[in-house]
Every structure is written in structure tokens, then in C-alpha cells.
Structure 1
Amino acid sequence: MKQVLITGANKSIGLETARQLAQQGYFVYLGCRDLAKGQQAVAQLAEAGLGHVEAIQLDVCDKASIQAAEQTIRAKTNVLNVLINNAGVRGEMPQNALTTGTAQLREVFDTNFFGTIDVTQAFLDLLGQAPVPVIVNITSGLASLTLQSDPTWVYAPYKLAAYGPSKTALNAYTVFLAYELRAKGFKVNAVDPGQTATDFTGHQGGAVTDAARFVAQHATFGADGPTGKYFSRDAPAGETESPW
């Protein structure tokens, strides 16, 4: 049975992705900052007949928590097939470039960028034991410099000076990580599930099930799958990849 760890997995897209991968036969570890909420999510999935799910306490901003999570999972399995770096924060609003302070920027970057790096590096050894290790970094269209520079883009007015750059940095890290791991067979991609109706967006956007399906699709690549790419459910019409 393949093993997958999803951070920030006790609700919204993370939880629905867990549900869909469990339905496909994966054993899913729900990485949750609040373990009690994670256990509630496990109970919810169990009611749907999905038993191969376990909550793991994991705060991506706490290295000790990350290390403890790695040790907990290592005690249960010697391989991790998929890591989905889903945990993320929008940050307080408004986020104007002229007024957003560096403290606010650091808070958002700690979760969306530095936390992802710490989690990824902690689990590289377990991932490296898989025949085709997969890393999915959840990003956003707001990270695209190309799209943000296009005044006709539908989301061009959304200039979040902390959140957007944190995901732009994550995209860059994804490129470098994919390059360094290419010889080891890793599939490392940035995946944008698109604007989705969750607490994060004020419940504006598409269905959570559709967003999670897009994430799950890119989490199940085989040996012939792409790496170092940026995929978005909101990609320009006719395009399979989104511009960086």
C-alpha cells in the first residue's frame, strides 16, 4: 500500500485530497497542527468507510514538531511515496506593497515557504525509498509573475503582497528541488488547485472536490510523469501548464 503525507490536512482541500487518495488505496497521514482536529477528520473519514488514515501532529513552523512527525511515520513505515505540502496561510489583510510590514511577510513566508522546505527536507530520506517519489507543492495563480503582470488577467486586481510572493518563492524552490532530484526519479511539481470555495477565499470559487481531484491527479504520477512543472486548474484556455 502506498503511503502519503498531506500537511494541513484536517479540512478543506487537504482533507478532501486525503479522502480521494484513501479511496484510491493510499494509506494517508494527515499532518495537522492541532492533533484533536486531525483526529476528528480521521473519524469523519472512518464514517465514510475509509480506515487507512491516521492523524499526525505536525506544525510546519516548528522544526521539533516536524522531526517528531518524521520519527512517528518512520516507526510505521520505511517508505513514503508522496508528500503533499498543502499547509498554507493567506495572512492578515490588507496586503499592500507600500504598507505591509516585514513582520507580516515573515509570518506568511514561515508557513508557505520556509515550513515547506523544512518538511520536505525532513522527509527526503523516506521519500527516497519509494520507486517513484512524488512531491506536490500547493501554490497559487497569484504567484505567477507573468499573469500578475497582465492587466487583462481575471485575478490581476488581487495583489497580495505577502501571500503572492510567498508562493512565487515556493515555485522557484520547486524548480531547484526538481532539478537536484531529477536523477533519483523524483517527480516534483507546483500545483495550483485554483480559486476554491473555502474559508481561505471567503467561500468564493469552485468546488473543493474538483480542487482536490486536481491535486490528487498530480500526486499520483508514475515514472513517466513530468517534474519541475507548474500546473494550475485556472491555466489559460488551451494550456496544460501555467506560466511562471
Structure 2
Amino acid sequence: TAEWLQIDLNDIASIHKAARYVEERYPKLDGLINNAGISGDMQKNPLELKSSELEQLAKVNFLGNFEMIKSFTPILSRNHGRILNVTIPATPIGSFNPLGYLASKASLNSMIKSFAMYYKKHEIPVEIFDVLSGGISTDLNQHQSGLLIRTVQE
């Protein structure tokens, strides 16, 4: 069974509401995919960024995902579930150096590892991992093209 739930990663209450809804309606949930995120203005160089822009990226790409993982862990734990997080390698390379986006994804990547270590140490039966899909031309990156960038169809 698949059902869409609207969750705003800027709104922690909406995340908690969704987790309660899922726990009531789908107590056997055994998988969570975190694939939401924002890119910010990827054309700005580090000196052009504002703290408010970095804050917004961190709120969605790091804190929103943190609340998703934390809120859904109890349900997934009962069902020996898995959490898949879609992310990117967070190291600046050549022509790809959007500071805010990379910094928020670096935080996400570290958090995934930290949760994995915690789950293992405390024998919490949840597997958490990341998937690095590579560059995909979407609205998120203003339909960027080039070497190693694929279309959605590809």
C-alpha cells in the first residue's frame, strides 16, 4: 500500500503528526526514504551567501531529516526496518562548489553515520544508509547538464 503524506521539513510539528498518523494506520512500516531537500542558490559563491540562506538549507536538509529519522525510528525499530537517505558526496570539486548545499549535505552524511553507530551500539534493529545517486538534471539544480549529469529518464 502506498499513500502520499504532505510533510513540511521546515515544520517539526508536521513531521511528528505524520509519524503519529503512520504509526496508527501502518504499524508494520519497515521502510523510510528521505529524499526531500532544497538546493538554495547554487550559483552564489561563498562570499555572496547570507547566513539566512545557510540557515534555511540546514533547517530542511539537516534538521528536517533529523526529525524524520528520530520520529520514525520507534516504528521502524519494531519492524526491523530500513532508512534510506538520498544525498551527495559533500566535497567541493572543480565547477561544483555550492557552499550552502554542500555544507547541509555534509551534515546529513555525518548524521547518517552517527545514527548507524548509535543503532549498532544499542542494538536498535534499524538499518540506516545513504544512496548517492549522482548528478541528475532537475529543478533542484536549474536543469544543469554536463559530464556525469543524467536526465531523470536516464
Report the Cα offset of residue 88 of structure 1: 0.3
Residues 64-213 of structure 1 correspond to what in structure 2 (within 5 A)? 64-131=13-80, 133-141=81-89, 143-144=90-91, 148=92, 155-182=93-120, 183-203=123-143, 204=145, 205-208=149-152
Q: TM-score, normalised by structure 1?
A: 0.57
Residues 10-25 of structure 1 correspond to what in structure 2 (within 5 A)? none
- Hey, what's the Cα distance between the residues in 2 that align with 1:82 and 1:209? 25
Q: What 5-or-longer segments of structure 1 have no aligned partner?
A: 1-51, 149-154, 211-244
- Hey, what's the Cα distance between the residues in 1 that align with 2:153 and 2:127? 23
Structure of higher RCO (CA pairs closer than 8 Å, 6+ residues apart): 2
Report the Cα offset of residue 156 of structure 1: 2.1
- Hey, what's the Cα distance between the residues in 1 that align with 2:70 and 2:125? 16
Structure 1 runs (4+) greater than 2 angstroms displaced = 92-95, 183-186, 201-205, 207-210
Report the Cα offset of residue 67 of structure 1: 1.3
Query: For residues 123-178 of structure 1, what are the alpha-carbon distances to aligned partners after superposition, in whole Å with 9 as ceiling and x for unaligned?
Result: 111011113x211121113x13xxx3xxxxxx522110100010011111111100
Q: What 5-or-longer segments of structure 2 have no aligned partner?
A: none
Report the secondary structure of 2:131's partner residue.
Answer: strand
Contact kept in structure 1, 2:42 and 2:141, CA below 8 Å: no
